[in-house]
Structure 1
Amino acid sequence: MKKTLALWAALTAVALFATGCTAADADTPDRTATPREAPTSGGPAAGHKTPDAPDARAAAYRKWGLKPFAPAPAPPAKKPVVRAPGGPVPVVSDIPTKDKVVFLTFDDGAEKDPGFVAMMRDLDVPMTMFLTDAAIRADYDYFAPLVAQGHGVANHTLTHPNLRTLSQEAQRKEICGQQSKLAKEYGKRPRLFRPPYGNWNESTRAAAGSCGVDAIVLWRESMQIKNMQYQRGDKKLHPGDIILAHFRGPSELKGTTMTEMTANLLRHIQEQGFTVARLEDYL
């Protein structure tokens, strides 16, 4: 594993854009594991190296049939969503902002398409991965280069249950257990959590808070294959919307690849005049 990490670090430096608790010990971070390399702050800009020449950036986007995004505005000096000390965990579907930005989130981790890693490297578009251990445990290393690119790692439980059917303690095991897994594999305990299916209750908030979660993140739109599903009647993006997608393969996408689905998603965002910002900069 250390050799794998060292190789990824070397490749990132040369070729890439310079980018829990267990049930028994719920509040104690894992201090014995050797984590994969991960940036400590900032979005992809913190670890990526944006191409110096506009032509190079445009060429990277043309490779995927896209046009470059407008630069995201500077992150707000004061985050618009903050958990008050000792207060309940906020639950958000969108971020209060006037910036014409949206936020990309990808769930589960079942599909591990190498092309998606290359796409995210080329486009330098920030996203947050809400990972489920049952979906990623067969190949934790797949996500290491995405982490090295600066993308966020967030919690989506150990086994993807409907949390509303579980006791608070059982929910705590699911959430805290995944906090520990992700901290061990990627070097940092997540601050964000998404309940499977978007199903949560007050026991979920209490359990998540006890595991060190700062926000429960839902969504406003979800990406299917070629089109998005909207929650609002106007069927339009709004500033601060959180968009849900999944690590999905051709069998689920009816022959479409994950990179094609993602390109479709990015076109929808551009067509409505939005750009993509880093979720962790706003909450």
Structure 2
Amino acid sequence: MQLVRQNEEKVAERRKGHPGRRARAVVAVLLIAALGSACAGESGDRGGGDRGGRSGDGGGGGGGPVESATATPGRAGPDAAKKADAAKKAGAKKAEAAVAKAQARRAVAARKWKLAKTPLAAPPPPAVKPRITTRKGFEVTGGATLPPVFTSVPTKQKVVFLTIDDGAEKDPELLRMMTELKIPYSAFLSDYVINDDYAYFKKMQARGVSLHNHTLTHPYLPGLSYEKQKREICGQQEKIEKRYGKRPELFRPPYGNYNAGTLRAAKSCGVKAVPLWSSEAFPDHMEWREWDRDLHPGDIVLTHFRGKDEWKGSMPDMIRHVMKTITDKGYAVAKLEDYV
């Protein structure tokens, strides 16, 4: 509109000196005003279209701004994906560094405790625990609704599980050794051999060890009536819960012997599963259940709380021997309760 005002002033000057040109001047002014209105209209349409394109569905004259608005998320998508990928890689590197640091500490502990090799680090446990079923040949009548009996856990990971039975030997060196080496294990306890020192197993529990049921007095269960079996199993459930604050969900029958009554009694007082074993560890040798005399992914290894009075070695000697076997075969020890 500034251009219109300038021309109007010039026309006024010319009108004074050149009356004959008045008609042409008026026409020129009207033409310029019309052009100015057209420019203003186009500018207004673009302004309205821009607002519509940014806040609405992009109809009308907002075609240009709509393309710009939709292009921004398109450009941000790859950027977000790159950031997520970078964060994932950074997390993986951080986890690897943590594992390496833990393994370095474990190597120091392995030398201290005179292990032949540093134990391997276990992989992360599964997000979903595998489905446990009774091993073929270990079934009982009506067993479909009873706790499963198994000797290994279904997994493809090269892990095995260390379990220790009864509780007769209470070696403080075992607690220190396993804590420093970060080797997980599970304890299946009988009250008649732990009742002289419940505190020892409280210390064990405080170190992350789960305490499970191995009956009150370690009898041959199939030789007992259902009621007596229930007393042995459920009585120990109550003892462990009272002493250690948690009712066990795993039960191991003495000598690995059971019948349908055993499993019914165990289920009646909260037992969810009955892990047996595929091999047994001693300070100087291994005994194998399987024909190939070897470890397999998910195998459960049994040993006992024993000392030099009954063994050719101590509990730490047993750990040194079994860990050499496990590590030499490329396996790591994982926590049974992470899988069952």
Q: Shorter-chain-normalised TM-score: which range? A: 0.7 to 0.9
> Alignment partner of 1:58: what SS?
helix
CA offsets, 1:222-255, max 9 Å, x none? 112311111112111000000000000101113x
Question: Root-mean-square deviation (CA), in Å?
Answer: 1.9
Paired with 2:203 and 2:99, the residues of 1 have a C-alpha distance of 16
* Aligned position for 2:122: 72
* Aligned position for 2:291: 233
Q: Note closer, same or farther for the CA distance 1:53–1:228 as it changes in structure 2 (3 Å cut).
A: closer
Paired with 1:276 and 1:69, the residues of 2 have a C-alpha distance of 8
Aligned-residue offset at 1:168:
1.1
When you count helix as a share of all residues, which structure comes out higher? 2
> Alignment partner of 1:265: what SS?
helix
Query: For 1:215, which of 254, 270, 273 is the aligned residue?
Result: 273
1:257 counterpart letter in structure 2: S
Larger radius of gyration: 2
Query: For 2:107, which of 58, 73, 76 is the aligned residue?
Result: 58
TM-score when normalising by structure 2 = 0.66
Paired with 1:251 and 1:57, the residues of 2 have a C-alpha distance of 30
1:153 counterpart letter in structure 2: L
Paired with 2:107 and 2:124, the residues of 1 have a C-alpha distance of 22
Asked if the contact 1:82/1:214 (under 8 Å) is kept, the reply is no
Query: For 1:158, which of 210, 216, 237 is the aligned residue?
Result: 216
* Aligned position for 1:81: 131
> Alignment partner of 2:147: what SS?
coil
Paired with 2:121 and 2:107, the residues of 1 have a C-alpha distance of 13
Q: In structure 2, list runs of 5 or more residues that go unmatched.
A: 1-97, 134-143
Poorly superposed stretches of 4+, deviation over 4 Å? 49-54
Aligned-residue offset at 1:257:
1.1
Aligned-residue offset at 1:53:
5.8
Aligned-residue offset at 1:57:
2.5
Paired with 2:251 and 2:132, the residues of 1 have a C-alpha distance of 14
> Alignment partner of 1:250: what SS?
coil
Alignment of 1:134-173 (within 5 A): 134-173=192-231
Paired with 1:75 and 1:57, the residues of 2 have a C-alpha distance of 19
Paired with 2:161 and 2:102, the residues of 1 have a C-alpha distance of 26
Q: Note closer, same or farther for the CA distance 1:53–1:175 as it changes in structure 2 (3 Å cut).
A: closer
Aligned-residue offset at 1:213:
0.2
Where relative contact order (Cα < 8 A, 6+ residues apart) is larger, the structure is: 1
* Aligned position for 2:320: 263
Paired with 1:188 and 1:122, the residues of 2 have a C-alpha distance of 25
CA offsets, 1:89-111, max 9 Å, x none? 11111111111000000000000
> Alignment partner of 2:212: what SS?
strand
TM-score when normalising by structure 1 = 0.78
* Aligned position for 1:20: none
Asked if the contact 2:251/2:266 (under 8 Å) is kept, the reply is yes
CA offsets, 1:175-217, max 9 Å, x none? 1110111111111000100000000000011000001000011
Q: Identity percentage over the alignment?
A: 51
Alignment of 1:78-157 (within 5 A): 78-82=128-132, 87-157=145-215
Alignment of 1:249-260 (within 5 A): 249-254=307-312, 256-260=313-317
> Alignment partner of 2:307: what SS?
coil
Paired with 2:294 and 2:203, the residues of 1 have a C-alpha distance of 33
